[in-house]
Structure 1
Amino acid sequence: MFSYLTKPSREAEKHEPHFSRTGYLHPLYSPSGKIITGDYAPDHPHQHGLFFAWTKSSFRDQPTEFWNQKKKLGDIRFHRFLEKGDHPSFFSLQFEQIFTSGKDSDMVILKENWEIRVPKKQTTYFQFDLISTQTCATQDPLLIEKYHYGGMAIRGNKQWIETGADGKPLGKMITSEGKSQENGNHTRPRWVTMHGPVDGQDCGVVVMNHPDNFRFPQWVRLHPKMPYFVYAPMVEKPFSIEPDTPYISKFRYLTYDGTPDHQVIEG
């Protein structure tokens, strides 16, 4: 279904050290085994599978940046495995990653817990839920500044960059409101699906934004040409993650073969 990276992949060795990252999901598979996610894309080597990263931000009046790794203003890495669980209806895994002020820095700004829940009963879609809990590691807040992207993101397979006969990318995005990457950027959908051919067969993923999430329905950054999107709650105004107040985000993921079935998604 997916892999969680606790150490840098072999692909990381082909890039500058500051692009190396852990603490994200890749590959993410369709039910038939097609790889849906991409990693270390030539155009954006800082985008890693299914990942959570804040962009323009500040800590103790100093700029921080966890998305654009080339700036070297922050880093996210796997810290420790917490636990696995066997519940009546689902299995669970919990990991902790840390947000630091730089690649080699010991200054931890945020701690983040990922709880991944996988239902025991699956259908023709693979389903799992991801609950992210971010807490301040100090008594100082992290300010998330107004910006046009940043948050829970996913990068699609590199084959979706290729263009079809119409000159448009093979990777397609559709929102719950029927918008595409051409007209859906910075709208506020309940879900987004991204799909396209991988080795000649269509597959894709749906990412659902939970109603409990901050500023739901959150804005989305849908790139018009590249296969990635991100739920970005800071698009119109800033906010801060405060000490003793966890920032909790919940998302449901459905991977599938073929093209998206809106009735299944809405069900």
Structure 2
Amino acid sequence: MRQLLSCLFLLLTATLTRAQQIQLAHDEAGKQVSVTVDGKPFTAYIYPGPTVLKKPVLYPIVSAGGNAITRGWPMDPRPGERVDHPHHVGMWFNYGDVNGHDFWNNSNEVGPEHKGPFGTIVHTGVKSMKSGKGKAELVVTADWLDKDNKPMLQETTTYTFRTEGNKRTIERAAVLKALANDVTFKDNKEGMIALRLARQLEHPSTKPEVFTDAQGVATKVPTLDNTGITGMYHSSEGVEGDAVWGTRARWVNLTGTINGEPLAVTLLDHPKNIGYPTYWHARGYGLFAANPMAPSVFSNGKEMPMNYKLPAGQSVTFRYQLIVQSGESPKQALNEQAERFSQLR
């Protein structure tokens, strides 16, 4: 019996520690690169073009338990979701004021409250893909276009996907190069790396909202049903809930539960990023964003505006890491993860 139990333990240990295969597959006709873990969905880099989306994004992002942590609307509406901010799709990277152009709010459903001019980010190529055991890498390029469709910035982004047991990780390193002219990122709260979360990961709320059914039909609801709504922000500096907004932190962790799966979703800043540690543009209604270039806005004028200027021909790099953990992520473990991430170049 002891020998049998020993064999079973060794088999279980081998199963849990086995390196999972991360596979990248480029569907050029469908304009996406799918990312799977042992054949199951993890995420996809999608670039349907400006008639659908004004920037490439990762959508959806799926936990090890098979639950999407990102909102479905407007791409794939789910019952009970909010139908606000149509430019909030999956996980994206852009900014609200680049040489006077609004890249953040641009969408095909942009409202009259956003005056523009708007900028658009257009995918230009898949430079390389590498699948592998426990790790995969995707390198893509894009142009940041002004209102006249002339490129201001050239972007080269490296996505590194990792898996370890019930933890999935996405590292995003974006290199932005100014082209013919200097490019200024004016101090603006709308930025920069962001996710729009599934309804279950929002903070509970009692405010009237607008919801959509599975067919995308919007309905005004006077009071919110908070059944199953479990989200809560926690920052590296000990700030929690809605108070995280407008504070600096090395990382912010969002905890919650979807379909019985406890989740910890963490976004980490990198010490080499401009404005480190970043300010957080994180909202209880489901926007989870970090913005390193708006100190004046987030400090209510206590800090000087950054108005970061990138000279023509020069480049700047932004590095972030997203961790999607099934189960708990204690603060000590997140600090250790942040330290490991800080060593990456």
Match of 1:158 among 164, 189, 199: 199
With normalisation by structure 1, the TM-score equals: 0.83
Name the CA shift for 1:259/1:90 in 2 (closer, same or farther; >3 Å). Answer: closer
Give the letter aligned to residue 195 of structure 2.
Answer: I
Match of 1:252 in 2: 321
My pick for the range that moved more, 32-41 or 148-157, is: 32-41
What is the rounded CA distance, in whole Å, between the counterparts of 2:55 and 2:65 in structure 1? 26
Q: Would the aligned equivalents of 1:65 and 1:73 in 2 still touch at CA under 8 Å? A: yes
Match of 2:125 in 1: 80
Q: Would the aligned equivalents of 1:26 and 1:38 in 2 still touch at CA under 8 Å? A: no
Superposition map of 1:80-119 within 5 A: 80-85=125-130, 90-102=135-147, 105-119=148-162
Deviation at 1:263, TM superposition (A): 3.0
Match of 1:127 among 165, 169, 172: 169
Q: For this pair of structures, how many residues does the alignment match?
A: 249
Match of 1:29 in 2: 62
What is the rounded CA distance, in whole Å, between the counterparts of 2:93 and 2:174 in structure 1? 9
What is the rounded CA distance, in whole Å, between the counterparts of 2:66 and 2:197 in structure 1? 15
RMSD: 2.6
My pick for the range that moved more, 252-261 or 17-26, is: 17-26
Cα shift readout 1:35-74 (whole Å, capped 9, x = no counterpart): 011253611111111101110232xxxx200001124511
Identical aligned residues as a percent: 19
With normalisation by structure 2, the TM-score equals: 0.65
Partner SS state of residue 139, structure 2: strand
Name the CA shift for 1:147/1:106 in 2 (closer, same or farther; >3 Å). Answer: closer
What is the rounded CA distance, in whole Å, between the counterparts of 1:30 and 1:261 in structure 2? 18
The structure having more radius of gyration, on CA atoms, is 2
Q: Would the aligned equivalents of 1:29 and 1:35 in 2 still touch at CA under 8 Å? A: yes
Unaligned runs of 5+ in 1: 9-16
Match of 1:143 in 2: 184
Partner SS state of residue 243, structure 2: coil
Q: Would the aligned equivalents of 1:177 and 1:189 in 2 still touch at CA under 8 Å? A: yes
Unaligned runs of 5+ in 2: 1-41, 75-81, 111-115, 207-223, 296-304, 337-345
Partner SS state of residue 333, structure 2: helix
Match of 1:57 among 87, 95, 98: 98
Match of 1:220 in 2: 280
Match of 1:264 in 2: 333
Name the CA shift for 1:31/1:186 in 2 (closer, same or farther; >3 Å). Answer: same
Name the CA shift for 1:73/1:156 in 2 (closer, same or farther; >3 Å). Answer: same
Partner SS state of residue 334, structure 2: helix
My pick for the range that moved more, 35-44 or 186-195, is: 35-44
Partner SS state of residue 265, structure 1: helix
Q: Would the aligned equivalents of 1:92 and 1:115 in 2 still touch at CA under 8 Å? A: yes
